[in-house]
């Protein structure tokens, strides 16, 4: 059966043009920093993000965790939002890899306030407490439904971080979606942060890889951590070429994915058997609740009819639009859902 796959924007497959770019990629040994395609990708990404330097890594999780490691020492603490990716979906890596802990704040649609950070901040004189060292923001926010962190609040949090000697990190796995939705260039988001991790393998359609960016000194340290964690790759230009192609060709079309998500969300909102917060429908991720059927049954029945969706939170469903699903397939997905959610 040919499925309409809305489980995630990570299920995309390289286009023929992207595959050709991979096939034609010039390669070298990246551990010696001699892979020309990797270097081109890193330089292009750094310029795009307005940072001094960038580093290609295998995944968003690796990117986030390298950044947190460079910013901290064992016993330090990172302040984040309770539904953030680093708190829920990175296998306990902060503690396991860096000996640090997370202080989760109860945000609204993934957004928290300066006042909440003030309350979480550890007193510098309290030697018996962990040391507050990093403030982390996720934009767009995956678990909240692809919501955008307002740039005005980012500016406020940045000022607070500077005043209190905190590093400011952005999990920008889908920062490209935030930029596409708001019209704010990615560099205008990134300039407020000391470090940023952003994915190439989600909405941009590359098969693998992420970028982290910051100062040259920061990236030099990150390069060492990447090696220590087994992330030093050799002739990696073959896959870096896909990431470069994605950045150069697939950012502007992200608005199509947002339009598809809006179409689907409006139908979900009109169905009395489903519940969705339309305030959360801002980019390409939908989180919604079935009211007359269990999550497990909903997944099974949709799959039997050719539609793949996934679990959101415990009692909710998740659908994500992307470049491998057309507008026509969204209409077909709605027809399938009409049969399941009655």
**Global pTM exceeds 0.85:** yes
- Average pLDDT rounded to a whole number, residues 316-337: 98
* Residue 314: band (very low, low, confident or very high) from pLDDT cuts 50, 70, 90: confident
The Cα 91–Cα 58 span in angstroms is: 16
Q: Is the pLDDT of residue 1 over 90?
A: no
Nearest CA among 50, 8, 27 for reference residue 242: 27
Q: What pLDDT digit, counting tens, does each position of 10-65 carry?
A: 999 999 999 999 999 999 999 999 999 999 999 999 999 999 999 999 999 999 99
Cβ partners under 8 Å of residue 76, min gap 6: 100, 101, 130, 131, 132, 133, 134
**Cα within 13 Å of Cα(158), Cβ side:** 16
Angle among Cα 207, 208, 209 to the nearest 5 degrees reads 145
Q: Which residues contact 264 (CB under 8 A, 6 or more apart)?
A: 286, 319, 321, 330, 333, 334
In three-state secondary structure terms, 51 is: coil
Cβ-count burial 272-305 (b if 16+ within 10 Å, e if not): ebbebbeebbbbbbbbbbbeebebeebbebbeeb
Per-chain mean pLDDT for the chain? 97
Alpha carbon distance 330, 264 (integer Å): 7
Find all residues with CB under 8 Å of 150, minimum gap 6, and list them. Answer: 111
Say if residue 321's pLDDT is above 90.
Answer: yes
| Tens digits of residue pLDDT in 252-261 | 999 999 999 9
Residue 190 near residue 175, CB atoms below 8 Å: yes
Cα angle 103-104-108, degrees, rounded to a multiple of 5: 150
Share of the chain above pLDDT 90, in %: 99
Taking residue 10's Cβ as centre, other Cβ atoms within 10 Å add up to 15
| Residue 331, CB-side half-sphere exposure with 13 Å CA sphere | 3
pLDDT per residue over 167-217, tens digit each? 999 999 999 999 999 999 999 999 999 999 999 999 999 999 999 999 999
Cβ contacts of residue 49 below 8 Å, gap of 6+? 186, 187, 190, 196, 198, 211, 213
pLDDT tens for 218-239 read: 999 999 999 999 999 999 999 9
What would the mean pLDDT of 145-160 be, rounded to a whole number?
Answer: 98
pLDDT of residue 172: 98
> What span, in angstroms and rounded, lies between the C-alpha atoms of 23 and 8?
26
CA distance 262 to 268: 10
Give all domains of the chain, ordered by start, each with its CATH number. 4-11+253-340 (3.90.1150.10), 16-249 (3.40.640.10)
Cis peptide before 140 (omega within 30 of 0): yes
pLDDT at 62: 98
Examine the pLDDT at 313 and tell me if it is beyond 90. Answer: no
- Identify the pLDDT of residue 42: 98
**Cβ proximity of 35 and 236 under 8 Å:** yes
* β 76-81/101-105 pair status: parallel
């Amino acid at each position: 059966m040919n499925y309409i796959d809305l489980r995630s924007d990570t299920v995309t497959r390289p286009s023929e043009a992207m595959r050709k770019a991979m096939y034609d990629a010039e390669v070298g040994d990246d551990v010696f920093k001699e892979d020309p395609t990797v270097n081109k990708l890193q330089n292009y990404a750094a310029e795009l993000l307005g940072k001094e330097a960038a580093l290609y890594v295998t995944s968003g999780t690796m990117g986030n965790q390298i950044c947190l490691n460079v910013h901290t020492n064992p016993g330090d603490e990172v302040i984040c939002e309770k539904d953030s990716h680093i708190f829920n979906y990175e296998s306990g890596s902060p503690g396991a890899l860096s000996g640090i802990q997370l202080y989760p704040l109860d945000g609204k649609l993934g957004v928290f306030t300066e006042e909440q950070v003030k309350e979480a901040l550890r007193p510098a004189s309290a030697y018996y407490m962990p040391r507050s060292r990093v403030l982390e923001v996720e934009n767009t926010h995956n678990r909240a439904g692809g919501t955008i962190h307002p740039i005005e609040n980012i500016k406020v949090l940045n000022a607070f971080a500077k005043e209190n000697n905190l590093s400011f990190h952005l999990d920008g796995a889908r920062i490209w979606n935030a930029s596409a939705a708001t019209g704010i260039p990615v560099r205008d988001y990134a300039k407020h942060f000391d470090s940023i991790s952003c994915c190439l393998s989600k909405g941009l359609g590359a098969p693998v890889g992420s970028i982290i960016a910051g100062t040259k000194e920061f990236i030099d340290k990150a390069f060492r951590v990447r090696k220590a964690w087994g992330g030093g790759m050799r002739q990696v230009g073959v896959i870096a070429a896909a990431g470069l192609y994605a950045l150069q060709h697939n950012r502007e079309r992200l608005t199509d994915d947002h339009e598809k998500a809006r179409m689907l969300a409006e139908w979900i909102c009109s169905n009395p058997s489903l519940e969705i917060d339309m305030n959360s429908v801002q980019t390409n991720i939908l989180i919604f609740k079935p009211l007359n059927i269990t999550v497990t049954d909903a997944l099974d029945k949709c799959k039997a009819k050719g539609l793949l969706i996934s679990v959101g939170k415990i009692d909710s469903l998740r659908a994500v639009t992307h470049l491998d699903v057309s507008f026509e397939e969204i209409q077909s997905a709605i027809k399938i859902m009409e049969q399941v959610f009655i």
